[in-house]
Each structure stands twice: as structure tokens, then as C-alpha cells.
Amino acid sequence: MYMEAPMSRLTRATALRIAAGITAVLSLIEIFVYQLPYLIRGQTAVDLDAAQTGGPPFFLIPIQFALHAIALVAAYGAWRGQRWGVVLLIVLSVLNIIPGLLGALFAPSPGTRIYAVVSVILDILIIVLCLWRERKSAGQVAHVS
């Protein structure tokens, strides 16, 4: 069998760079807009806020901060086309989907819910980009015996 396929316009290297870029932007937004302000306010204020408005409990904040810090490192690895970076990015994106879905369901404000839904969609997009494969080059396949 002779197989021939047109070349995909999006190369794997470009797909990985897009995924790394999205991850870096999302992680920086999470770190500077959400986690750092919560960490600065301290456990008492955050837990009180969580009890009154339904925000996240304080113990989740350092975990999410660490995950997003690791995601930055993973984004660097994926940008360089390293396998460890790609694998780490996939794992972290899946882990990010869980709080994203919870946020989409239980977040107190519509804005936060919309942000959670968008982040889930972007995490799925990141996974798709990390698994992106270039099409096979024409003529390289000899036969299927």
C-alpha cells in the first residue's frame, strides 16, 4: 500500500510553542492575579472570605501556586521541544482541568465561571497541541507487506 498525505501547515515545533505560550500566559495570570494576592492576604482572611463568598480555601492556594510555577518550567521545556516538557505540560493541563471544571460548576460569580470554562478549553487545546503530529512526508513509505 502506498500512502501519501499532504503536509500539515502546522509543524509540531510550532504547535509546541503555541502550547507553551498559552501555558505561560495562563500560569502568569493565575500566579499574579489570583495566587499571589491570596497568599499576601494570609490564611485567616482567605478562609473567612471562602466561608462568606464561596471562594477557594487557603490550603489550595500554595498547591495551585506550585503547579503553575512548575507549568512555567514545563512551558520552557515544551518550547525547546524537550520530551519531559511536553509530558509535564500534558499532566499539568489535565490536573488544571479538574479545578477548572469545579470552578465552572461552583464558582461564586459568573465572571469567574466564564474564566474557569475558558481555562478548561485552553487546557484541552494545550493537550491537543502537545499531541500534535506532523503529517507524513510523501513517498517515504515503501509498502505494507
Partner 1 sequence: MMRRWFDGSALLYWLLIGLVLFAYMAPVYVAITQTFPLHDVAPPLALNLLALVVLLATYKPVWRWVQPRVHHVVYAADEPNIDVIGQISNTLAGAPSDSSMLATIAETIAQIVKVPYVQVGLLDGTTAAVGTARPALVYTRVDITYGAVLVGWLEVGSRLPGEPLTNGEYQLLNHLARQVGITLHAAQLNEALQASREQIVTAREEERRRIRRDLHDGLGPTLAGLRMQLSALRHSLRSDPDTAEIVLDSLRDDVRAATADIRRLVYDLRPPLLDEHGLLGSIRHLSNILDGATLTLDAPATLPLLPAAVEVAVYRIASEAVQNVAKHANASACTVQLALDVHMLTLRVTDNGTGLPNDYTAGVGFASMRERAAELGGQLVIEPVPGGGTCIMATIPCRVRV
Positions in the binding site for partner 1 (CB under 8 A) = 3, 12, 81, 83, 86-87, 90-91, 93-94, 97-98, 101, 104-105, 120, 123-124, 127, 130-134, 136-137, 140-145
**Is 18 or 46 the residue whose CB approaches partner 1 more closely?**
18
**Is 33 or 121 the residue whose CB approaches partner 1 more closely?**
121
**Is 2 or 40 the residue whose CB approaches partner 1 more closely?**
2
Q: In degrees rounded to 5, what are phi and psi of residue 142?
A: -80, -60
Closest approach of Cβ 14 to partner 1, in Å? 13
Closest approach of Cβ 105 to partner 1, in Å? 6
**Is 36 or 121 the residue whose CB approaches partner 1 more closely?**
121
**Is 73 or 91 the residue whose CB approaches partner 1 more closely?**
91
Q: Please, which residues have CB within 8 angstroms of residue 12's CB and are 6 or more apart in sequence?
A: 81, 132, 133, 134
Closest approach of Cβ 117 to partner 1, in Å? 9
* CA distances from residue 101 to 24, 69, 79, 96 in whole angstroms, order as listed: 20, 21, 27, 9
Which position has the grid cell 500566579?
31
Closest approach of Cβ 39 to partner 1, in Å? 28
What amino acid is encoded at 45 in this protein?
Answer: A
Closest approach of Cβ 35 to partner 1, in Å? 22
Q: How far apart are CA 38 and CA 93, in angstroms?
A: 22
Angle in degrees, 0-180, between the axes of helices 12-29 and 83-106, rounded to the nearest 10: 50
Q: Please, which residues have CB within 8 angstroms of residue 106's CB and are 6 or more apart in sequence?
A: 54
